[in-house]
Structure 1
Amino acid sequence: MLASFWKGRGIPKYMKLLLIFSLLIGALPVLALGTYSYIVATNDAEQKTKESQSQLLAQTQNRIEQMMKSLELMSIQFSTSSTVTLSLREVLDVTNLAQVQDLSKGLYGVQALSNISEGYLIDIEHDWVMSLTSVVPLSRHPIREQLSIYEKQPSNMFWDTGSLIATGNGVADETVRLVQKLPIMPLTQQPRGFLIFGLPKSQFQNILLQKTEELGHMYVLDRYGNEFLEPNKEETAKYNPTNARILDKIQQNGESIGFLYGSVGNKATLFSYRHTDYNGWTYVYALSAQEMRSQTRKIAIGTLIAHVVILLIVGVLAWIISRRMYSPIKRLNELTMAVSANVATIGSGKDEFSSLEERFRSLFSKGQQLNQQVQDQFAQLKEFLILKLFAGQLTESDFAHRSMICGFPTEWGSLAVLTLQIDTLQDTRYRSHDRDLLLFAIHNMASELIPADTRFSPVLLNQYQVTIIKSDLTDEGELKQYYFAMAELLKSKVHQYLEVSVSIGISRSFTRTTDAVRAYNESLEALKSRIYLGHGIILHYDDMHAELGETATATYSQLKWTEEQLVQALKLSGPDKAESWLESYMSVLTERNVAVNDYPLFMMQLVSRLYQLVHEKGGSVQQVLGENASYSELMKLNTMEDTSEWFKNELLAPIGEYLTQLDEIQYESIANKVVKLIEEKYNRDITLEGCAAELNFHPVYLGRVFKKETGMSFSDYLIEFRIKLAKEWLKNTTMKISDISEKLNYSNTTAFIRIFRKVVGMTPGQYREQNGNINRKH
């Protein structure tokens, strides 16, 4: 039968298409796979090489900088020691044996810990220099020639990569020097002395050799673009053009980490670089691109061989499989003819596979559309069911039947309604037309924050977000705490992410779903108490009438006022002052005889307010306070004394410390800005009030912060700065005293002379006679 079909009808169209398709699908993927494999392998090799080089540079940088920072730390510790400080105040020679021994121990200690090759402690004023081996007059020491260069450097501590030291055998050995001006906090720009330590460049070169692979070359450029660690300068000269490109990218584009290709000896080379702002050095790794890509050639040869073998196999299999596949396709085509009236037949110009595809596509499209419609409407159906429940349009049995279909909870101990409303949009970044959008966002947050197995679908009803919550608890007090915790979670998250204030009303517990209408009205009634208690409340219906009484309202008002005083004290005065307000808060709770059930609510409200303070300052409650400062820990406390101690230790103290750290950072920044203004505007009418206006601070606050950071008032600092400039001009220029007075913005020369004599102890003319460099030349 099959033979007669082949003779009478010829090769079916689908079989021809299948045979051609089989050949194409076998050949094209092989070609594409081979090409793709080669490209991917090449790119992967290059990417892995870049990652390896970047990691290698980072490791090298970290190791070198760790070595340098360790020496800097030891240098600072040594320079700030009492031995060094006292030594810089007097002449030092071999007669001061004890002092020399103490300084030598310090230098030897640094040498033992950091492997330095040289160390110098220099006193310019008293003309002595102490090295690792001796104490000699500075005027006879070769290091003096370098000091004039070091004095001009703007930094108090810097690294010199171009100096030389003399070794014991008279051969020059290259070194890198750490230079520190003394004292660390100078009162003038002229240093009194220096502390210099030298590390051999071989120590840096060893690190580079340990990190460099066989096929690459690693080197380091200083802040001026010079390669200072390579002994063979001619060898590294071939990298100079690429080094210039690297420095250009760093300086103009700010790319501190990157890669680029360059030509070295007519060979393409991959350069990886890493620039550090710590000392301005740039770490570079050069690797030949030809060597990097040599491994991919093996993949190309293997892919070519695989092409030929797979194409032969595909050709044979395509012919065999195409013949055998036609019979089941024909039967499937006949079976699906009843699906559609527009069925393509064998002789209709379409192959059977195309007809099957059209029929299945039609069925799949219709099924997908139907499924999407059901999913879109299911969520709306669940909300519609809850809305009908609140409207009183469902019976108990009807709602129970439909709840099973919607996946609602079917068993519970009790239910309660939580109704949320936005308090106000005033003083927020929102407008009145944003209220509906905010409610929708809160609606989604309620669906995510409250577990699905503990609630029915949240709904939006008028201007409220309403949720029915179920619980298996039986104790009324525990139920209130449970519902309050749910409400507090929702309220705090809304404030955290949306920055709006909301209030939540909680109904009494009920068990029959038909009582949801009454519970909804109770939650609305609880929300109305905001007229007495203010915004941002969470109130249970049972507590509403007691709270609305005259005594309870006064108690709440007093607690709310005390709470705000506590927060303000914590902001302005620190934990000690806040603790006294905490004691006042606890005293009000005791004296007013607040109900036991209400006591946890007030405590959690106070905790929430302190959490809010942390968020307002940009901090994280988890990071600032830790795990012990949680609602669950608060609920474990049984006495007021324990609660008070918990507040002091777990909340007030950490928050106070956090606020103090923020203030210190802010104070230092403010003082630096004022100093910059003085340095820029010393020749104009500059006042504390003008600086405060420019920096947007109150003058009293700005003056207090400036004096705390600098140790002197604004006016004293301004006078000190101006007199400092006057002394420089008197010493080094021929400017008239009246011109100096006018340039420093004094009202008249007499006022300038009076202030100068008060600060310096002599008149400007006397100072010029004693200190003027021009007078000495004459």
Structure 2
Amino acid sequence: MLAGWKHRLRTFPRYMLLLVAFTTLIGAIPVLALGLFSYYTAASDVEHKMRESSMQVLLQTQMRVEQVMKTLELTAMQYANSPQVTSALNGPIDVTDFVRIRNLYTGLYNLQTLSGIKEGYLISNEHNWAISFASVTPLSEFPLRRQLELYAKHPNNLFWDIAPLPEEDDGGEAPARPQTIRMVYKLPILPFTQQPKGFLVIEMMKSQFRTLLEADSGKSGDMFVLNREGEDFLNASESRGSSSLSINARIAEAIQASGETSGYFHDKVNDRRMVFTYRGSGYNGWIYVSAVPLQTVTEQTGKIAVATAVVCTVIFAVIGMLGLIISRHMYSPIKRLSEMTKAISIGETGGRDEFSSLEERFRMLFSTGQELKQQMQGQFTQLNEFLMLKLFAGQLSESDFAYRSQLYGFPSGWRRLAVLTLQIDTLHETRYREHDKELLLFAVHNIVSELIPQDSRFSPVLLDQSQVTLIASELEDEAELKTQLYRTAEQMQAKVHEYLQVRVSIGISKPFSKPTEAIRGYNEGLDALKSRIHLGTGIILHYGDVETERGGFASAAFAQLKSAEDQLVKALRSDDPGKALEMFDRYMMMIAEGGAGANEYPVLMMQLISRLYQIVQEKGGLVHQVLGDPGSYKQLMKRNTPEDIAEAFKRDLLTPIIGFLNRQAESQYGSIVERMVKQIEERYDRDISLEGCAEALNFHPVYLSRVFKKEMGVTFSDYLAEYRMNIAKEWLETTTMRLSEVAEKLNYSNTTAFIRIFRKVVGMTPGQYRERYHNN
């Protein structure tokens, strides 16, 4: 039987065998490649979907946790800024102040309505009291005294202490790991100081955060949170395995080294392969991590591998059968030609024939033509935009543009033209920043290019801060053309908001017939966009509908505006420049109510910027160092809407200036207090008073009193009395002077007054102090 098969193969046409083998191989390679590609693609998709799902769950968890934290911060800030808290921090609280204590309790207790809050404290450093959910205690008996000293030195006025110091154990044992996270507010919130008047401390149970994490753990494996150092601070146990700690540190180092806030990697934990997905939070620096066993992924990919193998086997068998059938049909004409030419004697041919040469030549020519076509297509769009830029710059004549328009395939047969000028209103309250504006304009450019048909527009271009499109229309009627342009602008505005979530305004020029008038149409669109000053953002306006520029400020309105500007400058120069933000809001409101025209806005803003620059220079600062490029005149005058102007002035101009003035004031306060302390040290044995220091230092006594109390924490008279009593204690310890002599040397009018002040400061009489010192 084997010999029979061998005989059949020998008698079977060789070319037929090659053809069958070739067709089968041609069909098998794609099947095998498709099978492998399908398997690896499906496996990769499964893992990608798993990672994507884990990342989405992490994002949801992060948003849930941060929402809880932000809600608490906002509620606590409202309470901390309430009149009863502000009033309470400025004075002592007596147990008889039932109404004040009840009001403070009520506000503090309202915070407890939020889930997970264990305890809250309102603390006054200056007046030595602390209020919790349960009691009012002196600060000296407050259990968190040591933590408050550390909190006062923290660089932020609002922060979260994720690893608070554990409370001491009376039994002498090691303190238990804290089960709370503290939110700390320094009071008052502004300005920043390392000697706050008080604190608002809210303790949340770590179990509340773990509950938020466990809500999604089943969806995406095990979930936990790390701090910037890679510590799993929410874990209830003291420590985890060494491999887990190593992975946590690796995640923290990856985020710090690369700067990327999310990622994933594989690793082995307790002999199990795991997929770790992590996401860093820009809000508080926490790192959310999801750990999923790799076995979960491989189970799905194993099923895919079996299904792919079965399908490929079936397809391979079908291809083999089809290859045999097709090969027979393909071989039949070759067989007939072979039979027909058996009797023909074919001589040997030398070299390649002409057809082969022509084939090579045409192939090379075709290849060269394709390369040239690809190069031209790559530069065609740039050439179109370059031509339009020259048109809007007024550098093309009518005939030159007509010739190039035909060459570049621009619209033809149009009757009327118009220019649509699009600008982004503001990026305030969006997910974008100012440095994203150029990319956004490029994206808008692409959207407009795809939205408007090529036969209805010339190549859109970007000019400065605008996206400009020259529209071609066959309409002659002005009303119909106006309606068509408005609808096109509406579509552009809607698509930009749909894809980019930014608000834009569009100015429409008057229709014109000659392409060289495009530069006038562009300027008309810009003039129409200036109406955003009055009409707000998100407008579509024809240049012909723009109202005539208003007459400007009346003299009375201008005088009031000038007064508001003077008050703003005065607030910045005072010792409380934070009021300047409120004055600026009033200034902007007066401009809006006064009816300032679009052309008056830049003039008024320029005047204000000049005065604010002058304040920085008067305080010895360099404008470019204090404000940087965002606060430059060029950047500030790019704003087009009142909201955008106000937001930019506050963020890039007023806030840096206020910070600079605060730093200058703090430096001045330190110098003044140092000179006052030196006066006390040199003149403690003479008649010295706050008024005398004020006269010597050339300041007002009230101002010196406020500065001394702010920097030293005590009044001038209390500091003088305490310094004199320290001198008196030294004399009582080292000399035998009588009390009358000590009182006289310290410039007290009589011994009784000296004894009274000594008892108030030291807690005992001078005689008792001397007797106790010598007995010891």
TM-score by length of 2: 0.55
2:55 counterpart of 1:62: no
Aligned length: 553
Query: What CA distance in whole angstroms lies between the structure 2 residues aligned with 1:220 and 1:188?
Result: 31
What's the offset of the Cα at 1:626?
Answer: 2.0
Task: Specify whether residues 194 and 245 from structure 1 end up closer, same or farther in structure 2 by C-alpha distance, changes over 3 A only.
Answer: same
Aligned counterparts of 2:606 and 2:543: Cα–Cα separation in 1: 28
Q: Percent identity?
A: 34
Q: Does 1:691 align with 2:622?
A: yes
Q: Deviations over 1:692-751 (max 9, x none)?
A: 47569999999x9999769999899746523325637987x99999xxxxxxxxxxxx99
Cα 1:329–1:224 change in 2 (3 A) is same
Equivalent-residue separation in structure 1 for 2:601 and 2:94 (angstroms): 50
Match of 1:625 among 534, 537, 542: 537
5+ residue gaps, structure 1, are 1-5, 335-344, 392-402, 419-445, 459-466, 489-503, 510-519, 528-535, 539-603, 615-620, 675-685, 738-749
Compute the displacement of 1:23 (Å).
1.7
1:567-605 per-residue CA deviation (whole Å, 9 max, x = no partner) reads xxxxxxxxxxxxxxxxxxxxxxxxxxxxxxxxxxxxx96
Q: Pick closer, same or farther for the CA change 1:753–1:235 going to 2, 3 Å.
A: same
Counterpart amino acid of residue 174 in structure 1: Q
C-alpha change, 1:367 and 1:224, in structure 2 (3 Å) is closer
> Is it true that 1:296 corresponds to 2:301 in the alignment?
yes
How do residues 140-539 of structure 1 correspond to structure 2 at under 5 angstroms? 140-163=141-164, 174-186=179-191, 188-213=193-218, 216-235=221-240, 237-327=242-332, 471=474, 473=476, 537=520
2:104, 2:459 → 1: CA distance? 78
Distance apart, 1:17 and its partner CA: 4.1
SS of the residue aligned with 1:293? helix
Supply the distance in 1 between the matched residues of 2:70 and 2:528 (Cα, whole angstroms): 40
CA deviation after TM superposition for structure 1 residue 25, in Å: 2.1
Provide the C-alpha distance between the structure 2 equivalents of 1:669 and 1:325, rounded to a whole number of angstroms: 89
Distance of 1:669 and 1:139 partners within structure 2: 46
1:118 corresponds to which residue? 119
SS in 1 for 2:189: coil
Against the structure 1 CA distance between its residues 668 and 455, is the aligned structure 2 distance closer, same or farther, given a 3 Å change threshold?
A: closer
Q: What amino acid sits opposite 1:102 in the alignment?
A: N
Counterpart for residue 774 of structure 2 = none
CA distance in structure 1 between the aligned counterparts of 2:605 and 2:85, rounded to whole angstroms: 34
CA distance change for structure 1 residues 57 and 470 in 2, over 3 Å: closer, same or farther?
closer
Give the distance between the partners of 1:773 and 1:330, measured in 2 at CA.
127
User: Judging changes above 3 Å, is the alpha-carbon distance between structure 1 residues 390 and 137 closer, same or farther for their aligned structure 2 residues?
Assistant: closer
Confirm or deny that 1:108 pairs with 2:54. no
Whether the aligned pair in 2 keeps the contact of 1:50 and 1:272 (CA below 8 Å) is yes
Measure the CA separation in 2 of the matches of 1:102 and 1:88.
13
Identify if the C-alpha distance between structure 1 residues 106 and 326 changes in structure 2 by more than 3 Å, giving closer, same or farther. Answer: same
The one-letter amino acid of 2:254's match is K
Distance 1:160 1:537, change over 3 A: closer
Give the Cα separation in 1 of the matches to 2:679 and 2:537. Answer: 63
Q: CA deviation at 1:195?
A: 0.7
SS at match of 1:198: strand
Q: Read off the aligned partner of 2:704 and give its amino acid letter.
A: V
Q: Once the two structures are superposed, what CA deviation does each residue of 1:14-44 show, in whole Å capped at 9, x if it has no partner?
A: x444312222123223322332233223322
* Residue identity opposite 1:11 in structure 2: P
Q: Judge conservation of contact 2:528–2:543 (CA < 8 Å) in 1.
A: no
More off after superposition, 18-27 vs 764-773: 764-773
**Counterpart of 2:270 in structure 1: which amino acid?**
G
The answer to whether residue 23 in structure 2 is matched with residue 79 in structure 1 is: no
Instruction: Give the Å deviation of 1:310.
Output: 4.0
For 2:607 and 2:117, locate their aligned partners in 1 and report how far apart those are by CA, in whole Å. 37
* Aligned pair partner of 1:727 in 673, 678, 684: 673
Q: Distance in 1 between matches of 2:659 and 2:134?
A: 46
Which range moved further: 141-150 or 712-721?
712-721
- Change in CA separation of 1:361 and 1:216 when aligned onto 2, cut-off 3 Å: farther
Q: CA deviation digits over 1:400-434, x for unaligned, max 9?
A: xxx9xx99977x9x78999xxxxxxxxxxxxxxxx
Provide the C-alpha distance between the structure 2 equivalents of 1:665 and 1:207, rounded to a whole number of angstroms: 49
CA contact 1:274–1:282 (8 Å) conserved in 2:
yes
Classify 1:225/1:607 alpha carbon distance in 2 versus 1 (closer, same or farther; 3 Å): same
Task: Please tell me whether the aligned partners of residues 83 and 99 of structure 1 are also in contact (alpha carbons under 8 angstroms).
Answer: yes
1:223 partner amino acid: R
Q: Does the CA-based 8 Å contact 1:45-1:293 persist in structure 2?
A: no
Query: C-alpha separation between the residues in 2 aligned to 1:456 and 1:709?
Result: 45
8 Å CA contact retained: 2:510, 2:542: no
SS in 1 for 2:159: strand
- 3-state SS of the aligned residue for 1:294? helix
8 Å CA contact retained: 1:624, 1:655: no
Aligned counterpart, 2:29: 28
- Which piece of structure 1 moves more, 145-154 or 117-126? 145-154
Q: Distance in 2 between matches of 1:187 and 1:447?
A: 51
Alpha-carbon distance in 2 for matches of 1:623, 1:267: 64
SS in 2 for 1:323: helix
Rounded Cα–Cα distance in structure 1 between residues aligned with 2:662 and 2:323: 96
Post-superposition shift, 1:365? 5.5
| Contact persistence 2:226–2:233 (CA under 8 A) | yes
Cα deviation, 1:204-255, whole Å, max 9, x if unaligned, reads 1111111113772111112343212111344455311111111112223222
Shift of 1:138: 2.1
Secondary structure (helix, strand or coil) at the match of 1:625 reads: coil
| Further displaced range: 198-207 or 75-84 | 198-207
- Compared with structure 1, are the counterparts of its residues 286 and 727 closer, same or farther at alpha carbon in structure 2 (3 Å cutoff)? farther
Q: Is the Cα–Cα contact under 8 Å of residues 278 and 289 in structure 2 kept in the other structure?
A: yes
CA distance in 1, matches of 2:233, 2:411: 75
2:566 alignment counterpart:
none
The one-letter code sitting in structure 1 at the alignment partner of 2:61 is: T
- Residue aligned with 1:112, SS: coil
Compared with structure 1, are the counterparts of its residues 607 and 92 closer, same or farther at alpha carbon in structure 2 (3 Å cutoff)?
same
Q: Does 1:754 align with 2:697?
A: yes
Residue 261 of structure 1 and its aligned partner are, at CA, apart by: 2.5
- Preserved CA contact (<8 Å) 1:124 1:192: yes
Cα shift at 1:257? 1.3
2: CA distance, partners of 1:101 / 1:505: 69
Map Cα deviations across residues 284-324 of structure 1 (whole Å, 9 max, x no partner). Answer: 11222233222212222333344444444433332222112
Q: Which stretch of structure 1 is more off in the superposition, 323-332 or 138-147? A: 323-332
Query: Quick check: 1:273–1:283 contact (8 Å CA) kept in 2?
Result: yes
Counterpart amino acid of residue 13 in structure 2: I
**Separation in 2, partners of 1:455, 1:220:** 54
Give the match for residue 42 of structure 1.
Answer: 43
Aligned to 1:561: none
**CA separation of 1:8/1:214 partners in 2, compared to 1, >3 Å: closer, same or farther?**
closer
Letter in 2 for 1:87: A
